[in-house]
Amino acid sequence: MHLTKLEIQGFKTFAKKTSLSFLPPKPDRSPITAVVGPNGSGKSNLADAIRWVLGEQSLKLLRGKQSQDVIFSGSEGKGRAGFAEVSLSLNNEDGAMPIEYSEVTITRRLFRDGSSEYLLNDSKVRLNDIQLLLAQANVGQRSYSVVGQGMIDHILVSTPEERKAFFDDATGVKPFQIKRHNAILKLKKTHQNLADVEMLLREIEPRLRSLKRQANRLEKRGAIEESLHMLEQQHYGKQWWDLVDSLEAVKKNFETADQEIAAERTTLKALEAEMEKIEKVEDEPDTGLVALQAKYREVQKKRRTLRDQQFQTEKEIELTRVRAQSNWAPLPLIRIVEVVGAIVKGIKGLKNISEAAELHAEVDAIFKQSSDLHKKLQRPNPEDIKPDPKLVARLADLKKQAEGVTKELGAVEKEIDGYVSKEKTDRTELIQTQKVLREKQRQIHLLENRRNGLKIDLARYEERQGALIREMDEFMKDRAVNVRAQRPASTPAEDVYPEIQRLRYKLELIGGIDPEIIQEYEQTRERFDFLDGQVGDLHKAIKSTEKVIEELDEQIEKQSKKVFNKINKEFEKYFKMLFGGGSCRLVKLTREDTEEESEGVTPDRAFADTGEEQREKDETIETKIKKHKDPVIGVDIQATPPGKRLKALNLLSGGERALTSIALISAIMAVNPSPFVVLDEVDAALDEANTIRFAGILSELSKNSQFVIITHNRATMEQADVLYGVTMGTEGISNLLSVHLEDVTQGGTARR
């Protein structure tokens, strides 16, 4: 992977669109690009542009106070720019970046209103995507891929913890760390989701329990109802069909009686006609006998009327009895509770009544209510059902009258007989016929009595049928029709009515339940199961993420250890090369080493821009997931130039510091080369001899890395394959032009 083109527009002093092309790599090494130019012409701005497009967030490193400071702020000749845009094109033919493209262009754009965007080959992406991609290609944008002006000894002045971040970058564990960071974010989110789901579950659980109880009750109710319905079907089926049979039989008997009566009446009519004929034949009707006969008919009529009345009264008395029996049904519990409630309420209300008369009336009312309830709760004793006394008296009276009339009739009969016996001889036929007639009348009377009895039976059964229909309809509802429609195949052997009453009472105890409860129960249970499943899934997700983090931690540790040792070796080599001897060493600091110096330092500083609070949160989760224990929390540098004994870094001279830094950066590049490196005047403090040594090292390292070097040193320039000059005119805008070494003056600035 190597740089192919840099395009800058509106970024700092590069107001106009400016483009810089890089040479393609040679077989043995990457070409070195040198940027030269006078002070303040914008060379460092060029390095800043590369740093910026790679996603740098630090305002300090970008030399600004706020992010919009990178936008060209205008000059005497030219107005300020509306946005800054930098595009860096990279050749990815070697696939260093794990992405499909062979040419990748990263673009960063920032507008004056503060909005910004990152593009990857013109598609919008997140900063995180770019950072991960670059880290995977081993571009350490923070630390050593772009070494800013005056930043070369930054590594020396920084704290051991800051250096640790730098070495994490250098040892190539950054991509793992980014992945780890993302995994921790994911883990945090999963934990949050889990907490949310668990809270929902806790909320639903009590409702579900109550619904389940109700559903169980409903189920129990259903079972009881089922057996009740079966028993009711048996019971009422038997009652109904027994009644139907009885009714049928009575009807049939009644009809027979009716027919018999009709037949007898026809015979009677014939007899009467015969009588009339005989009577007509008599020359002179005997007035005495005629009068007696008339009287006889009259008394007979009277007796019939009395009998009719008597029958009517008997029927009424019978009906009151039937009605009283069939109308009684046990009161439902609900009704009882209602009435008792009303009575209690009435009694309570008594306290508020002061008027004696009113009190009296209220007490009477309550007494009536309770005695009514009492009466209704007791099954009436058939003996106790007293028909209306008036009816009874009337019946007795009628019976007495009938007796009198019967006696009267007997007397008249006797009289007629006496009369007749006198004239027996001449009126035998008539008398005979009269006798037959009377006998017939008596028979008809007996038949009518029987028929009337049947009629009473019929009325009784019909009344009972009506009551049964009402009862069945009340208890069985729609099912009643079926029972009445079809005769049951079998009838229960024993009386099931007590069991029916027991089940009804049980149902009343259970009480009514809203049938929608079942539906709600089903829905709630489904939701509960779903959430419960989610909890399981989330736990699984947490486990697997924790495993990923653990594996990453292992990789980080392994890689870091391996590379660190190599860097240490190379550091010593370059140090000796630059200093012509001496000794140096990188030392890992454990927590105990630094405890006294700096307390409360967080070991993971890979993400310096994440806020303190955020890091703390990550920490708690990290501890939760059995935190990876990286004992190394800092890196110390020990450097002793030849012939000296000092060990403290701040005792080194400026040039010595620069040489030590260059040795370290070179070591890192040798071990873990970044595809490209931008160095802004890292050689500024070197004397001529060291500049030449540095140029040698550069040439060596360019085998593995593409260098862009900003310098004023001729020796460094001489290593370059291409030279760019940055100039600035009076209008305060940087211009970029390609120059040749011959065009460069002694001070390292382009002549043109």
Q: Binds 293, which of Mg ion, ligand ATP, none (CB < 5 to 8 A, cut-off by type)?
A: none
The sign of the torsion formed by the CA atoms of 450, 451, 457, 459 equals negative
Number of residues that bind Mg ion (CB under 5 A): 3
Q: Binds 460, which of ligand ATP, Mg ion, none (CB < 5 to 8 A, cut-off by type)?
A: none
Q: How far apart are CA 196 and CA 166, in angstroms?
A: 39
Number of residues that bind ligand ATP (CB under 6 A): 16
Compute the least distance from the CB of residue 663 to ligand ATP, in Å.
23
Angle at 241 between CA 237 and CA 244, to 5 degrees: 150
Name residue 31's beta-bridge partners. Answer: none
Out of 43, 142, 179, 464, the residue judged to bind ligand ATP by CB under 6 A: 43
Select the span of 42-50, 212-220, 495-503, 512-520 touching ligand ATP (CB under 6 A): 42-50
Assess 706 for contact with Mg ion (CB under 5 A).
no
Q: Is 683 helix (H, G, I), strand (E, B) or coil?
A: coil
Q: Binds 568, which of Mg ion, ligand ATP, none (CB < 5 to 8 A, cut-off by type)?
A: none
Out of 8, 30, 62, 72, the residue judged to bind ligand ATP by CB under 6 A: 72
Q: How far apart are CA 344 and CA 335, in angstroms?
A: 14
| Interface positions, 110-169, toward ligand ATP (CB under 6 A) | 149
Angle at 308 between CA 307 and CA 313, to 5 degrees: 95
Question: What is the torsion angle, in degrees rounded to the nearest 10, for the CA atoms of residue 248, residue 249, residue 251 and residue 252?
Answer: 110
Q: Which residue is nearest to ligand ATP (CB)?
A: 44
Compute the least distance from the CB of residue 23 to Mg ion, in Å.
23
Q: How far apart are CA 255 and CA 87, in angstroms?
A: 117
Q: Which is nearer to Mg ion, 234 or 711 (CB)?
A: 711
Written as six digits, the tokens of 400 are 């007495």
Compute the least distance from the CB of residue 677 to ligand ATP, in Å.
17
Q: Which is nearer to Mg ion, 466 or 729 (CB)?
A: 729
Whose tokens are 């007490």? That residue is 363
Assess 39 for contact with ligand ATP (CB under 6 A).
yes
Out of 4, 21, 73, 300, the residue judged to bind ligand ATP by CB under 6 A: 73
H or E stretch including 504? helix 497-510
Compute the least distance from the CB of residue 669 to Mg ion, in Å.
22
Assess 149 for contact with Mg ion (CB under 5 A).
yes
Out of 30, 44, 145, 716, the residue judged to bind Mg ion by CB under 5 A: 44
Window 505-524: contact mask with ligand ATP (x via CB under 6 A): --------------------
Q: How far apart are CA 309 and CA 708, in angstroms?
A: 137
Written as six digits, the tokens of 303 are 């007796």
Give the pairing type, strands 146-147 and 676-680.
parallel
Compute the least distance from the CB of residue 652 to ligand ATP, in Å.
23
Assess 42 for contact with ligand ATP (CB under 6 A).
yes
Q: Which is nearer to ligand ATP, 9 or 13 (CB)?
A: 13
Q: Do residues 536 and 190 make contact, with C-beta atoms less than 8 angstroms apart?
A: no
Q: How far apart are CA 750 and CA 41, in angstroms?
A: 11
Assess 13 for contact with ligand ATP (CB under 6 A).
yes
Q: Which is nearer to ligand ATP, 50 or 71 (CB)?
A: 71
Q: How far apart are CA 244 and CA 248, in angstroms?
A: 6
The sign of the torsion formed by the CA atoms of 73, 76, 79, 84 equals negative
Q: Which residue is nearest to Mg ion (CB)?
A: 44
- Helix axes of 174-281 and 428-476: crossing angle, nearest 10 degrees: 170
Residue 368 neighbours by CB under 8 Å, 6+ apart: none
User: What are the DSSP calls for 447-479, one per residue?
Assistant: HHHHHHHHHHHHHHHHHHHHHHHHHHHHHHTTH
Compute the least distance from the CB of residue 46 to ligand ATP, in Å.
7
Select the span of 68-76, 260-268, 451-459, 520-528 touching ligand ATP (CB under 6 A): 68-76
Q: Which is nearer to ligand ATP, 452 or 691 (CB)?
A: 691
Select the span of 71-79, 322-330, 371-379, 420-428 touching ligand ATP (CB under 6 A): 71-79
Give the residues lining the site for ligand ATP (CB under 6 A): 12-13, 37, 39-45, 69-73, 149
Give the residues lining the site for Mg ion (CB under 5 A): 43-44, 149
